Amino acid sequence: MSTAPAPHRPSARVQLAAVFRKEVGQTIRDRRVMFLLMVAPLVQTVVFGFAVDFDVDRVPTLVADGDRSSESRSHARRLLADGTLAPAGSAGSVAEAERAIDRGEAAAALVLPRGLGADLAAGRPATVQVLLDGTDPNRATVAGAAASRYFGDLGERMARERLAARGMPEPARIDLVPRIAYNPELRSPPFMVPGIAAMLLVIVTTLTSAMGLAREREMGTLEQVLVTPLRPLLLLVGKMAPFVVIGLVDVMLLVGLGTWLFDIPIRGSPAVFLAATLLYLMTTLGVGLLISTVSATQQQAFLGGFLFAMPAIILSGVMTPIRAMPEWLQLVTRLNPLRYFVEVMRGVLLRGAGFGDLWPQLAALAVLGAVILAVATSRFHKRLA
């Protein structure tokens, strides 16, 4: 026979299990929140995986053919058939072509001068003009390069033919033989989808945890729980637990979906990937906690979360390469956990990288996570004390 035990504080394990059960249960029961945390990232990954494509092809191009010879027509046709440029009609003059670009009916115009065919046949120098719509610099650069390459090749070919016709020996040629590793078709989704997943994870974890805690503060429920025998640190761990679970499930779903829908390979070590995900969640949840401690209302927590998330996304290399940023901004990106997580994801999935290649990123995530969590926890304690 046992007697009733004296009232005492339950062990940390029991406390933790209780908080965990309550928090996870509460989160799962809120259908709308669950929908937003689980289904929304999936839908977004699918939509944006298809949306994000930087390939420049089929640039609508006008032809202003001042020559109207069979030669000029054949050059225009061959240049517009290579895939980068696509025919969008013809213009009578340069001014007309410029007006069409103004109105957005074409993004480029090829201007062939009068006498082009005759000049080429006679071996006289010739000049062709290309007008480009510069509002999208990337597209303009690619379209301009396509035209330059075509006429460069044409000039070289004609020179060689002429040399051969004169019975002179053919000059040597240097061929650049490119081979593309990891992604031979140069598709955008394998690179972008991991980035999008990392981006969505910030929004799901940082914003939701910051706002969730701010909401409890608004309603005063945090203080109520604190009068129970629960230790504040365990309460905190319990509050974060559902987000860690949701984050992990989200990552697995997103990667699974990516491999299935976008043929994203998983070439490297899943263990490194998992470790990086946990460390990354530690940083994003730490930031969420930190934000909640400096916010009195949900609205403020949201603004704070947003203030963190936007620069973190821009400075992560998800959308544009970090190497293209100015040097001082590249230094700032070293404080960005998103940057390291994206590098690990892309390294593991696409390049087959392992711990030996990615330990600097993992170390950076661990340090950032530890610092952020330490600051956030001490602020949390202070707020409650």
Partner 1 sequence: MRERLRRSLVRVGAMAAKETQHVLRDPRTLYMSLGMPVVLLFLFGYGLSFDLDRIPVAVEDRDHTEQSRSLLDALTASGELEAVAGAEAGAAEALFRRGEALAALVVPEGYADDLSNRRGTRVQLLVDGADAVVANQVLSKADALVRAEARRLLGPDLADVAPPIQVRVFTLYNPEGRSAVFMVPGLAVYLLAITAVLLTALTIAGEWERGSMEQLFASPVGRLEIVLGKLLPYLVLGILELQLVVAFGAVAFDLPIRGNGLLLFAFGAMFLVGMLGQGLLVSVVARNQLVATQAGALSALLPSLLLSGMVFPIENMPAVLQALSRVVPARYLVHALRGILLKGNGLDVLWPDLVALVVFAFAVIVLATARFQRRLA
Site for partner 1 in 221-280 (CB under 8 A): none
* 45, amino acid identity: T
Please, which residue, 14 or 158, has the CB nearer to partner 1? 158
Alpha-carbon span 366 to 337, nearest angstrom: 9
Q: Is 72 one of the binding residues for partner 1 (CB under 8 A)?
A: no
**Chain centre distance of CA 360:** 21
- Give the burial class of 71: count Cβ atoms within 10 A of its Cβ; 0-12 exposed, 13-18 middle, 19 or more buried: middle
Of residues 167 through 226, those in contact with partner 1 by CB under 8 A are 168-184, 186-188, 190-191, 203, 207-208, 211-212, 215
Q: Select from 294, 291, 293, 297 the least CA-distant residue to 312.
A: 291
* Beta carbon of residue 139, minimum distance to partner 1 (angstroms, whole number): 7
* Beta carbon of residue 10, minimum distance to partner 1 (angstroms, whole number): 30
Q: Is 54 one of the binding residues for partner 1 (CB under 8 A)?
A: yes
Alpha-carbon span 255 to 261, nearest angstrom: 10
Please, which residue, 192 or 376, has the CB nearer to partner 1? 192
With beta carbons less than 8 A apart as the criterion, state whether 260 and 254 touch: no
Q: Select from 205, 215, 202 the least CA-distant residue to 295.
A: 215
Please, which residue, 52 or 253, has the CB nearer to partner 1? 52
Select from 18-26, 65-73, 158-166, 232-240 the region that touches partner 1 (CB under 8 A): 158-166
Please, which residue, 269 or 283, has the CB nearer to partner 1? 269
Please, which residue, 150 or 280, has the CB nearer to partner 1? 150
H helix intervals, 54-104: 70-80, 94-102
Q: Is 163 one of the binding residues for partner 1 (CB under 8 A)?
A: yes
Please, which residue, 94 or 384, has the CB nearer to partner 1? 94
Of residues 337 through 376, those in contact with partner 1 by CB under 8 A are 343, 346-347, 350-353, 357-358
Strand order across the 85-90 sheet: 85-90, 59-65, 108-112
Q: Is 29 one of the binding residues for partner 1 (CB under 8 A)?
A: no
* Beta carbon of residue 8, minimum distance to partner 1 (angstroms, whole number): 37
For 336, other C-beta atoms within 10 Å of its C-beta total 22
- Alpha carbon of 3 to those of 6, 7: distances in Å? 9, 12
Of residues 297 through 336, those in contact with partner 1 by CB under 8 A are 297-300, 302-303, 306-307, 310-311, 314-315, 319-321, 323-326, 329
Of residues 101 through 130, those in contact with partner 1 by CB under 8 A are 101-104, 120, 123-130
Q: Is 382 one of the binding residues for partner 1 (CB under 8 A)?
A: no
DSSP label at residue 336:
-
DSSP label at residue 5:
P
Residues whose CB is less than 8 angstroms from the CB of residue 87 and which lie 6 or more positions away in sequence, other chains included? 60, 61, 63, 80
Residues whose CB is less than 8 angstroms from the CB of residue 63 and which lie 6 or more positions away in sequence, other chains included? 76, 80, 87, 89, 90, 91, 109, 110, 112
Q: Is 152 one of the binding residues for partner 1 (CB under 8 A)?
A: yes
Please, which residue, 252 or 310, has the CB nearer to partner 1? 310
* Beta carbon of residue 339, minimum distance to partner 1 (angstroms, whole number): 11
